Amino acid sequence: MPYFGQASEGHLLTCDARLQRVARAVVERYDCSVWEGYRGEEDQTRYFRHGKSRVRWPNSKHNVKPSKAMHLLPHPFPGWENTKTFYFFGGYVVRTAEVLGIKLRWGGDWDSDYDLDDQKFMDLTHYEIAD
């Protein structure tokens, strides 16, 4: 059975308990890594400047403690160009959350309408609590 390594566990522990539940349920069947949970001001500012985030500090769900957002990646890392793997994995994560009764917003379907072609900003590893 897959499990999280030390770095993933550290990132996951910065996340809201609901995100932790989802990630732990996913890793039971699908090997993955937690790339990021909480994000500090310096990182958020850098991501915004480089176009990797659309929001400034402190407006990201990554910028609160515990973090209401995480980056979860399939393992082994398939490469950024392999979007089909990220779409498949994203569906698995979202469905796992639904089964647990947790509403997530995924960076591959921001408006949660199951239309993957109407997105203006793709962040296929991003999952956040939809409050």
Q: Work out the pLDDT band at 31, boundaries 50, 70, 90.
A: very high
Convert the pLDDT of each residue in 66-90 to its tens digit. Answer: 999 999 999 999 999 999 999 999 9
CATH number of 6-129: 3.30.1380.10
CA distances from 42 to 48, 49, 72 (A): 10, 11, 21
Contact 37, 73 (CB under 8 A): no
Q: Work out the pLDDT band at 131, boundaries 50, 70, 90.
A: confident
Residues above pLDDT 70, as percent of the chain: 100
CA 91 to chain CA mean position, Å: 12
Helix 17-27 crosses helix 83-99 at what angle (to 10 degrees)? 120
Mean local confidence (pLDDT), 94-121: 97
The pLDDT, as a whole number, for residue 1 is 87
CA 107 to chain CA mean position, Å: 7
Residue 105: in which H helix or E strand, if any? strand 104-106
* pTM of the shown model: 0.97
The pLDDT, as a whole number, for residue 60 is 98
Write down the domain spans for the chain. Answer: 6-129
